[in-house]
Amino acid sequence: MIRFEGAAKRHPDGTVAVRGLDLEVPAGRTTVLVGPSGCGKTTILRMVNRMVEPTAGRVLLDGTDVAALPAAGLRRGIGYVIQQAGLFPHRRVIDNVATVPRLLGWDRRRARARAAELLELVGLPPETARRYPAQLSGGQQQRVGVARALAADPPVLLMDEPFSAVDPLVRAGLQEELLRLQAELGKMVLFVTHDIEEAVRLGDRVVVLREHGEIAQLADPHTLLTAPADAGVAAFLGRDRGLRGLGLRPAGSVPVAALDDRIAYEGWQLVLDPDGRPEHWVRGAERHPAPVFAPSRDSLRSALDAALLAPSGHAVAVDTEGRAVGTASRAAVVEALAADSTPAAPAEPTGAPLPGQVPHAGR
Ligand SMILES: Nc1ncnc2c1ncn2[C@@H]1O[C@H](COP(=O)(O)OP(=O)(O)OP(=O)(O)O)[C@@H](O)[C@H]1O
């Protein structure tokens, strides 16, 4: 387990990158740090392998303060994957992957055999082994980066935006591969991304950060999407951000409940204009716009946006004329996402989807 105890980083110029983080990263699971640019994600990740030393607090790895461990040895025991893979350009792919085993004193033959095994594990054809990194595609280079990080079978993998430099299709393939690998290997993965779709897809737990590495919410993806902690998190999940893959899928599968005055929308009441078009959600003196989606025309993305941004937690479904026909709760939208993303699986009769099902919503 990795444990951050009041871990903070203040740069010499006074910039506070991370104000003081308390966080536990459990073994065998994938924990994703997500948040806007500059919120401190990379800084937090690098505190683990001592590429950044905290200016206050500490980071414990399985109970030992990493500051007490020699940096080189610590890093050999932690896989590290970065954007653009960071491969050695003048070494062949096989020798890139064999680097850490060689540093650990393995003979060349054994290190190369292990490297060949790993290239296969990450889905690279054997002929890529003899090539140089520049002779591979971006997606293949990222796979080599993952193979290299796994070479010494480290219990911990740090991944810093590892897939953000490749196009969306390749990226989806790499994410798929990581899910498969993780199901097989069960590493302690700490993964950084600014993409909420990637976060909910890969994470067993998602840590939404705001400025200075402050935790806005820590939850499994299902909880995050159905019960964002506050308006800031909802806005981050909602409009303009991530979950783009959902934009291609129709919202027709979202179950819409009939409008009913008796439903308590957490105290909010929906106000319609004389033609039946939604105007506002009103609660006492509070008044908020009522985000809508048209099931016949809009995407799941629009339905999710509307549900996340509605103060009542319910999106208003409208017909093609914009008249309200019913409402859909956040949970209903998220369940539609989960159902839609697992068409091949036998249908679960009832109950909320488990964490781990919903994260694959982007597929
Ligand atoms: N050497 C430095 N000196 C001063 N400020 C720094 C230094 N390195 C990073 N920072 C600042 O610390 C903050 C956190 O940086 P960090 O790279 O951890 O953010 P991030 O969330 O990973 O961002 P991004 O998503 O853009 O990569 C930023 O405001 C950044 O400008």
Taking CA atoms only, the protein residue closest to ligand 1 atom 9 is: 17
Mutate to test the pocket of ligand 1, among 15, 49, 192 (most ligand atoms within 8 A of CB): 15
Q: List pLDDT tens digits, range 182-237.
A: 888 889 999 999 888 788 888 999 999 999 999 999 999 888 887 888 888 887 87
Mean pLDDT of 116-145: 88
Taking CA atoms only, the protein residue closest to ligand 1 atom 25 is: 37
- How far does the centroid of ligand 1 lie from the alpha carbon of residue 164, in Å? 17
Q: Where are the alpha helices (DSSP H) in the chain?
A: 41-48, 71-76, 93-97, 99-103, 108-121, 138-150, 168-185, 196-202, 221-226, 231-237, 300-309, 330-341
Residue 340, pLDDT score: 53
Mutate to test the pocket of ligand 1, among 4, 9, 10, 11 (most ligand atoms within 8 A of CB): 11
- How far does the centroid of ligand 1 lie from the alpha carbon of residue 40, in Å? 6
- How far does the centroid of ligand 1 lie from the alpha carbon of residue 89, in Å? 27
- Here the tokens at position 225 are 């999407």
CA distance 236 to 229: 11
Mutate to test the pocket of ligand 1, among 13, 41, 164 (most ligand atoms within 8 A of CB): 41
Quickly count: other Cβ atoms within 10 Å of residue 78's Cβ.
21
- How far does the centroid of ligand 1 lie from the alpha carbon of residue 11, in Å? 10
Chain center to CA of 349 = 28
Taking CA atoms only, the protein residue closest to ligand 1 atom 17 is: 42
Q: List pLDDT tens digits, range 267-315.
A: 888 999 999 999 999 988 888 888 899 998 888 878 887 887 788 889 9
Quickly count: other Cβ atoms within 10 Å of residue 179's Cβ.
16
Q: Which of 240, 265, 262 is nearest to 332 (CA)?
A: 265
- How far does the centroid of ligand 1 lie from the alpha carbon of residue 212, in Å? 9
Categorize the per-residue pLDDT at 242 as very low, low, confident or very high, splitting at 50, 70 and 90: very low
Q: Which atom of ligand 1 is nearest to the CA of 9?
A: 12
- How far does the centroid of ligand 1 lie from the alpha carbon of residue 282, in Å? 41
- Here the tokens at position 361 are 């919503």
Taking CA atoms only, the protein residue closest to ligand 1 atom 24 is: 37
Residue 27, pLDDT score: 93
Categorize the per-residue pLDDT at 102 as very low, low, confident or very high, splitting at 50, 70 and 90: confident
Q: List pLDDT tens digits, range 316-345.
A: 999 989 999 999 988 888 777 766 554 333
Residue type, 178: L
Categorize the per-residue pLDDT at 8 as very low, low, confident or very high, splitting at 50, 70 and 90: very high
- Here the tokens at position 237 are 């999940």
CA distance 149 to 118: 10
Q: How far apart are the first and last CA of the chain?
A: 30
High-pLDDT (> 90) share of the chain, %: 38
Q: Which atom of ligand 1 is nearest to the CA of 43?
A: 18
Residue 338, pLDDT score: 64
Domains and CATH numbers, the chain: 2-230 (3.40.50.300), 245-362 (3.10.580)
CA distance 163 to 172: 9
Secondary structure, 3-state, 276-327:
CCEEEEEECCEEEECCEECCCCCEHHHHHHHHHHCCCCEEEEECCCCCEEEE
Dmax over Cα atoms in the chain, in whole Å? Answer: 80
Q: Is the ipTM of this complex over 0.85?
A: yes
Residue 303, pLDDT score: 86
Mutate to test the pocket of ligand 1, among 39, 44, 160 (most ligand atoms within 8 A of CB): 39
Taking CA atoms only, the protein residue closest to ligand 1 atom 11 is: 17
Residue type, 62: D
> Residues lining ligand 1, CB < 6 A?
11, 13, 15, 17, 37-43, 194
Residue 222: CB partners within 8 Å, gap ≥ 6?
Answer: 334, 338, 352, 353, 354, 355, 357, 358
Q: Which of 82-96, 133-147, 239-253 has the lowest mean pLDDT?
A: 239-253
User: Who wins on pLDDT, 64 or 251?
Assistant: 64
Average pLDDT, the chain: 83
**Residues of 3-37 as b/e, b for ≥16 C-beta within 10 angstroms?**
bbbebbbeeeeeeebbbbbebebeeeebbbbbbee
Secondary structure, 3-state, 212-237:
HHEEEEEECHHHHHHCCCCHHHHHHH
pLDDT above 80 (res 346): no
3-state class of 191 per DSSP?
strand
Residue 322: CB partners within 8 Å, gap ≥ 6?
Answer: 277, 292, 294
Counted residue by residue, the chain has a size of 363
